[in-house]
Amino acid sequence: MLARLERDFGRVGAGLRVLEIVAQVAPLLGLFGTVLGMIDAFRQLQSAGSGADPSLLAGGIWVALLTTAAGLAVAMPASVLLGWFDARLARHRRTADEALEELLAPGVLTHGAG
């Protein structure tokens, strides 16, 4: 019974790792997009030479800001959900552990606390 509980909790916990990966990777993808957008903006600025128009930078900066915002928009809810699910899983694990202890050694916890 204990092995089955551990296996089931492990399976649920493995599902949470997907959320953890999303929460960690999304801001990095946003940062990567930011770097690419800034590279593009500066490449356009360099190509324009001395007659550079600030509007040339706008496209690259727009991409940079958009990818940063998108990465954060994905990472923040994923991080919040991960924390919420992780806390629920821990609470269920404690409940299962207590129920198992009571099943295997009834009355030991309640009589020993007094």
| pLDDT tens-place string over residues 52-88 | 777 777 888 888 899 999 999 999 999 999 999 999 9
Q: What is the mean pLDDT of residues 2-28?
A: 87
Q: Is pLDDT at 6 greater than 70 in this prediction?
A: yes
Q: How confident is the model at residue 114 (pLDDT cuts 50, 70, 90)?
A: very low
**Token pair for residue 102?**
């009571």
> pTM here?
0.69
CB burial string 41-69: b at 16+ within 10 A, e below: beebeeeeeeeeeeebbeebeebbeebbe
For the chain, the average pLDDT equals: 85
Q: What is the mean pLDDT of residues 99-111?
A: 72
Residues with Cβ within 8 Å of residue 79, at least 6 apart in sequence: 23
